[in-house]
Structure 1
Amino acid sequence: MGKAWLGLGANIGRPRAQMLEALRRLDAHPDIHITRKSGIIETDPWGKTDQDPFLNMAIEVETALGPIDLLDACLMIEEAMGRKRTEKWGPRLIDIDVVAFGQMKLITDRLTVPHPHAHERSFVLDPLEEIAPSVAKWIKAQAVKG
């Protein structure tokens, strides 16, 4: 089993309920087990700022999946919950990002870990620092190294 850290966010519909449902679905997956959860914070939108604030949180999971399979599981949960990808950085019913996967560095056309913008986003780093300060510090260090 490997460890990974995911970021969750939502700002339309019933964001808190949707995040809790995403947690339930993630933990129900046979190859994903949530081991730590941050609190839920409210943050201003990033990138596209003319929308409602977001609720965000981070979780730590143990998983038997590799990084791409974990991404696919997250995307399947988003889709099953009704997420439509129509606008970059736009409103989200639910968003589940793979922020880090162990201390793996991976760049593919589908996934980059650590998440390439995590170090710039307090809505990712603040909840991550709550549950895994060493991971947040590692992500910041990777950004400095380029």
Structure 2
Amino acid sequence: MSLAWIGLGSNLDDPAGHVARALHELDGLPLTRRRTASSLYATCPVGPADQPDFINAVAQLETRLSPLALLDQLQALEQRHGRVRERRWGPRTLDLDLLLFDTRQLEAPRLTLPHAEMTRRAFVLVPLLEAAPTLSLPDGQTIAALVAQLPEATPPRRMSAAVLPESR
């Protein structure tokens, strides 16, 4: 079994509902179960500012899928939530990013592991720090150190964790 970290985000059509449902649905992916998840966080959008704030979270999965097979399942789940890719960093009903997969480092046309932008994104790092305070990246950087290095900006605002579904 492999361990994977997934970033979840939404800023359209009941974002907290989309993220909460996706957390539940991740537990139903083939050969996969959700082990843990962070609280939900309200965050400012990255990219175009003319869009609503996001709701973000992270989840750890235990899976027998390969990284690319898991990516395919994540993209299919996005589609079931009505994801439309109109513009880069634009609004979306659901965004699922494969952040980490064990300690693998991968550069492929469809997937980079660890996720190429995760070390600069508070909306990924802050929930990761909550869910896995001792987690390190494959290169040895700790999530805590990366959070400490984030530029002064509007930090993610933690919301109630009560909406998180139980893992099966």
When the two structures are superposed, what TM-score results if normalisation uses the length of structure 2?
Answer: 0.80
| Alignment map for 1:1-146 (pairs within 5 Å) | 1-135=1-135, 137-138=136-137, 141=141
**After superposition, what is the alpha-carbon deviation per residue over 1:7-62, rounded to whole angstroms, capped at 9, x for unaligned?**
00000101111111112221112311000010000000012222111000000000
- CA shift, 1:107, in A, is 0.7
Higher helix proportion, which one?
Answer: 1
**In 1, Cα distance between equivalents of 2:66 and 2:30:** 14
**In 2, Cα distance between equivalents of 1:105 and 1:123:** 22
**In 1, Cα distance between equivalents of 2:48 and 2:106:** 27
**In 1, Cα distance between equivalents of 2:132 and 2:116:** 18
Q: What secondary structure does 1:62 align onto? A: strand
Structure 2: state its 5+ residue gaps: 143-168
- CA shift, 1:121, in A, is 0.3
- CA shift, 1:138, in A, is 1.9
When the two structures are superposed, what TM-score results if normalisation uses the length of structure 1?
Answer: 0.91
**In 2, Cα distance between equivalents of 1:75 and 1:134:** 29
Structure number with greater Rg is 2
**In 1, Cα distance between equivalents of 2:133 and 2:113:** 17
**In 1, Cα distance between equivalents of 2:103 and 2:132:** 13
Q: How many residues align?
A: 141
Q: What secondary structure does 1:25 align onto? A: helix
**In 1, Cα distance between equivalents of 2:82 and 2:98:** 19
* RMSD value, Cα: 1.5
**In 2, Cα distance between equivalents of 1:133 and 1:37:** 12
Q: What secondary structure does 2:72 align onto? A: helix
Identical pairs, percent? 38
